[in-house]
Structure 1
Amino acid sequence: MADVADSPEGSREALSSRREGVETLIGDQTRQLSVVRTDISPSDADFDPTLLAVRVEEAARRLSIGRTTMYALIRDGAVQTVPIGRSRRVPVQALNDYLAQRMQSRSKNAVA
């Protein structure tokens, strides 16, 4: 007694049907993930206002500048850092001080 699924054409149809079901399932999961991703942006999820010092990459992200520019600011002494163990952290206060200094220098240049 030969089943339709045992024939080559029957198994192709069954495989095609299963593939469509899997693609539909994957498509549904992708739509669900995209909804989750739009609800919370990665920058909002990573932001912690209680941190006293942040990594250089996080400091650059908070200033909306590139990592290389951030390292240049550190090298030039415009932004202070502190060593913690074998790593270097940027105090959040140093970022606030840098912005305040930039705002003051811009206002002095605008008046002159």
Structure 2
Amino acid sequence: MTSPPPTALHAEPGQAPELLTVPQVMARLQLGRSAVYDLLRAGQLASITLGRARRIPTHALTDFIHTRLEQDAAR
């Protein structure tokens, strides 16, 4: 079984953004489950809820990373 090809962080116009699961975000940020949920609770990382499932749009993850980079650069 092969893994799917990497996708763009922002969806093309007319396409819905890719939604990531919490474990996928954990892997991309190399953080634990509690740390990711802390970011979600604090509003630092945007997400949507579909039923009981939490999903993070790729653009929200990208925005979070850019914001943190800018904050660190300002120090």
Fold similarity call, TM over 0.5: yes
Identity %: 27
State how 1:40-51 maps to structure 2 within 5 Å. 45=3, 48-49=6-7
Structure 1 partner of 2:25: 59
More strand by share: 2
Larger radius of gyration: 1
Task: Give the number of equivalent residue pairs.
Answer: 66
> Can you list the C-alpha shifts for 1:31-68, whole angstroms capped at 9, x where unaligned?
xxxxxxxxxxxxx8367526711111111111111111
Higher relative contact order (CA 8 A, sep 6+): 2
User: Which 5+ residue runs of structure 1 have no aligned equivalent?
Assistant: 1-43
Q: TM-score, normalised by structure 2?
A: 0.75
Instruction: Give RMSD over aligned pairs.
Output: 2.1
More helix by share: 1
